[in-house]
Amino acid sequence: MPELSISEVAQRMGLRASAIRYYEQIGVLPRARRVSGRRRYDQTTLERLAVIQRARQAGFSLDEIRQLFFGFARTTRPSERWEKLAQRKLAELEALTQEIESMRTLLQESCGCEALDECGKRLLHHKC
């Protein structure tokens, strides 16, 4: 297995080199090995990035992802960490879903006002 430069990693994983540098900077990726100043990566970095991408798709922030890798007591198993965070995330999604639902309701009920200032009056006085 050959070692990869940052732009090769970026291309394979579908992100920009700057994002990978950023991940390293904030500690989501460990500091990469350098060969004459340039970062070199191996397979495990690709795997780690795959997990990161999956976690981001699931709605985790980079901060939460860092916790997933480094944040807990060493006794906590990784899958347990994932489940703990996933639990919290699901609750957040539930809240978000309800917000969206109420937005949808607001958007669908046409208020019946011809002008916006009429609408404003109603909102202010009759709680329309």
Query: Which parts of 56-85 interact with DNA (CB under 7 A)?
Result: 56, 61-63
Which H helix or E strand runs over 9? helix 6-13
Contacting residue, 27, 30, 71, 78, with its own copies by CB under 8 A: 78
Q: In sequence order, what are the beta bridge partners of 38?
A: 35
What three-state secondary structure class fits 33? strand
The label of the residue with tokens 């397979």 reads 43
Per rule CB under 8 A, is residue 108 in the interface with its own copies? yes
The number of beta carbons lying within 10 Å of the beta carbon of residue 16 is 13
Contacting residue, 12, 27, 30, 38, with DNA by CB under 7 A: 38
CB neighbours of 60 closer than 8 A, spacing ≥ 6?
68, 85, 89
Per rule CB under 7 A, is residue 128 in the interface with DNA? no
Answer with the entry of its own copies, DNA, none that 8 interacts with (C-beta below 5 to 8 A by kind).
Answer: DNA
> Which residues contact its own copies (rule: CB under 8 A)?
44, 46-48, 50-51, 54, 57-59, 68-69, 77-79, 82-83, 86, 89-90, 93, 96-97, 100, 102-104, 106-108, 110-111, 113-117, 119-121, 123-124
